[in-house]
Amino acid sequence: MATVLVVGSGIAGLVAAIHASERHEVVVVTKDVLGQSNTRYAQGGIAGVMFDDDRVEDHVRDTLLAGAGLCDEEAVRVLCTEGPERIRELIAFGVAFDRDGDAFAKGLEAAHSYPRVLHAGGDATGAAIETALVETLAARRVTVLEHTVLVDLVVTAGTVTGAHLRSSERGAFTVDADQVILATGGVGQLYPFTTNPAVATGDGAAAALRAGAVLADVEFVQFHPTALAAPGSFLVSEAVRGEGAVLRDANGERFMRELHPDAELAPRDVVARGIARAMAAQGGAPVTLDATALGEDRLAARFPGIDEHLRASGVDWSRTPVAVAPAAHYWMGGVATDLDGRTTLPGLLAVGEVARTGVHGANRLASNSLLEGAVFAARAVSAIDAAPGPIAGHPRLGGQRVVLDPLAADDDLRLPTDPVEPFSRSALHAVMWRDAGLVRDARGLELARRTLDRWSTELDDVDAHRSVAAAEDRNLLLLARAVVAAALARTESRGAHARDDHPGVDPDQASPIAIVLTTAADAHLPTTHPSVNGTVLAPC
């Protein structure tokens, strides 16, 4: 029996903990209360081949097309082949997916060729899954540490052997473990407008990077096209467009039909940039999502959560189109793993949004994220059962390696006119939204890089252990630097990564970009490889 430390309590963390509890001693660490995660806010559904007239090959094809040439096809096949079994397991755990008579209700979302998306409670799929998994876990012998934050991983002789944690009750403490599974979610809080909850500060990915793990695909941040243009960026599910809602500009015209043959159901990156373009043409004013043709009864029945939120805000969306704008939603990148969730560090596994499995490529297909969390969490625990000792994974990456210097103050490159604003969360948000958001270019990314490098010298690592906010700031700054460095290195536009100065797709760049810290880089790393704006590149 091994001690397995699971950090995170969304679908990936909870599925991992439930499976691991069958054979191991399990400790679950959650930053808030159990069940507070990105999963809970997932209005969309879970995609899977659950109907006789659907095919795994079609789900694979749709996923590969959305991924814009950067998916790991073997990982995609694992997802689509094993997905139905994991969905049936969720049903056994108590998730009641919506029915249409005796069959599951079919849902169509963008870039799917078949309505294979299952929902629960209309637009409350994530909450239904989270509730069922929390109840299932409660019946197991598992230690749960709530209001506890991952500060750093413990690495002993190159192997992860536990984690340094901080809780509101116990202060700083350490938990030893034979295996650590990261399930800490994404990085939505890098941006001022995000559909993610406040806990999404990239804690697991940053800790893994500091410990020596390899990250990949970090430049690919998916912006959801339709968040309410109001404080909080409340998500209006893509399924609303799947039901027939349309996007209109300030003149009431449907602008997406001119940009893509699938119009409002084009891949998310296409729709998000289409909205941004329409907003720019009308002085920054948001566009509107017009669902009035669906009618009051249908909207209330199909999207009860959204309907309730809008009506509580004084908006009757059955009569009035609602103002929407893009917001940061999902991170395709993360800690590089193999097909069993193993990272490049022995003893460390990663599952869910914090992991880069290769499934999503450059752009996630709608409703594949919940499925990925369940599928690869189960595989990670199976890998532990098969080989309980710490084993490093070997993700298939190829491509380039970007090496970050953790203390890369770059004052010699700073122009006299560059601002010297001190670090703050709001200042970070401004830089990331302006220079590393929906559309990027070399000038903005270079300005962002210099600013982030200067800020990296302002945050003392010792201070990060003194408060949750300081730890989060350190994590966000490190991951912002990673995103910007990878975005500079990828001199093409692909999927969610769009560069005005390189608008085309470059076939020679159809491979992941890996990120490591200098403290973790190979000692023999050559220094004669090409340098992109001060960042050393080498073959990976």
Residue type, 113: S
Structure tokens at 319: 């009569």
- Residue of 306, 324, 319, 316 whose CA lies nearest to 264: 324
Structure tokens at 251: 């003149």
- Please count the other Cβ atoms lying within 10 Å of the Cβ belonging to residue 55: 15
| 342 Cβ contact partners less than 8 Å away, ≥ 6 residues apart | 348, 349, 380, 383, 391, 392, 393
23: annotated active-site residue: no
Which residues, listed in sequence order, are joined to residue 7 by a DSSP beta bridge? 29, 182
Residue type, 221: V
Strand order, beta sheet including 179-182: 142-145, 25-29, 3-7, 179-182, 348-350
- Residue of 165, 194, 200 whose CA lies nearest to 38: 200
- Residue of 211, 180, 125, 221 whose CA lies nearest to 8: 180
Tell me how far CA of residue 177 lies from CA of 27, 163, 352, 388, in angstroms. 9, 8, 20, 12
- Please count the other Cβ atoms lying within 10 Å of the Cβ belonging to residue 508: 7
Rounded Cα–Cα distance for residues 142 and 153 (Å):
21
- Indicate which residue of 166, 268, 481, 490 is catalytic: 268
- Residue of 357, 333, 340 whose CA lies nearest to 209: 333
- Do residues 226 and 219 lie in contact, with contact meaning Cβ atoms separated by under 8 Å? no
- Please count the other Cβ atoms lying within 10 Å of the Cβ belonging to residue 383: 20
Question: Element (H or E) spanning 5, and its range?
Answer: strand 3-7
Give residue for tokens 């400790």: 27
Give residue for tokens 């599925």: 15
Residues in the chain, total: 540
Rg (CA), the chain: 22
| 454 Cβ contact partners less than 8 Å away, ≥ 6 residues apart | 409, 410, 411, 414, 420
Q: Given its phi and psi angles, is residue 525 left (phi above 0), alpha (psi -120 to 50 degrees) or beta?
A: beta
- Residue of 399, 342, 356 whose CA lies nearest to 160: 342
Rounded Cα–Cα distance for residues 9 and 170 (Å):
20
Residue type, 89: E
Question: Element (H or E) spanning 400, and its range?
Answer: strand 400-404
Q: Is the dihedral of CA 49, 53, 57, 58 positive or negative?
A: negative
Q: What are phi and psi of 282, to 5 degrees?
A: -115, 35
Residues tagged active-site: 268
